[in-house]
């Protein structure tokens, strides 16, 4: 089963916290951990990966913390997932055809390859800004009534 890891989900939530301040002021990891109910130590390990992949930068000193290094308009979900979890695949044979002895004549493999390509295209087409906008959209909808709030669950 293809599944986004908890580490990536938490990383995305933390990046959304960083992107809330349009002025780009550094955000302390303790604040993010508290707001998102994520272990500070776990968040540190995620931010180490994000920093090593040039997605965030650390700012030392009073008022320090982390800032986005890439604009939310340009930071794709694909880049975030790759930074945190590395390459992913719908099946083992998509990444490494040698993992299966049937690769050369398996009709299902072409389906998995096509699915993988479509997932990658989708993730490359969505940015952190897109997620920020959906989050704001959902908040507005939920406050307008139950019949509309139910719609937000299907988005």
> pLDDT tens-digit profile of 27-43?
999 999 999 999 999 99
> Residue 29 sits in which domain range?
6-152
For 124, which DSSP code?
A: H
Which pLDDT score, from 0 to 100, does residue 151 have?
A: 43
Is 1 among the domain residues? no
Name the strand (E) or helix (H) holding 84: helix 77-85
Q: Looking at residue 141, what is its pLDDT?
A: 46
pTM, two decimal places: 0.81
Residue at 19 is within a domain: yes
SS3 100: coil
The answer to whether position 111 is within a domain reads yes
In a domain? residue 18: yes
Nearest to 88, CA basis, from 62, 120, 114, 60: 120
- Residue 132 domain-assigned (yes or no): yes
CATH of the domain at 110: 1.10.10.10
Residue 69 structure tokens? 């290094």
Report the 10 Å Cβ neighbour count for 11: 26
pLDDT tens-digit profile, the chain (155 residues): 568 899 999 999 999 999 887 677 899 999 999 999 999 999 999 999 999 999 999 999 888 899 999 999 999 999 999 999 998 888 888 888 888 888 888 888 889 889 999 999 999 999 999 998 875 555 554 555 554 444 444 44
**Number of domains the chain contains:** 1
For all residues of the chain together, what is the average pLDDT? 85
Identify each DSSP E strand in 9-89 by its residue range.
56-59, 65-68
The C-alpha angle with vertex 83 and arms to 78 and 84, in degrees rounded to 5, equals 105
């Amino acid at each position: 089963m293809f599944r986004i890891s908890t580490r990536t989900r938490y990383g995305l939530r933390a990046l959304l916290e960083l992107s809330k301040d349009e002025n780009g002021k550094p955000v302390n990891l303790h604040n993010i951990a508290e707001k998102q109910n994520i272990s500070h130590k776990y968040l540190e390990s995620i931010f180490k990966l994000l920093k090593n992949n040039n997605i965030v930068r650390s700012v030392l000193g009073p008022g320090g913390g982390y800032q986005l290094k890439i604009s939310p308009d340009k930071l794709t979900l694909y880049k975030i997932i790759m930074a945190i979890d590395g390459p992913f695949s719908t099946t083992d044979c998509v990444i490494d055809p040698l993992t299966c002895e049937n690769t050369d004549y398996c009709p299902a493999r072409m389906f998995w390859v096509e699915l993988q390509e479509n997932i990658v295209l989708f993730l490359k087409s969505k940015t952190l800004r897109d997620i920020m906008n959906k989050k704001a959209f959902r908040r507005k909808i939920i406050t307008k009534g139950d019949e509309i709030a139910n719609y937000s669950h299907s988005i």
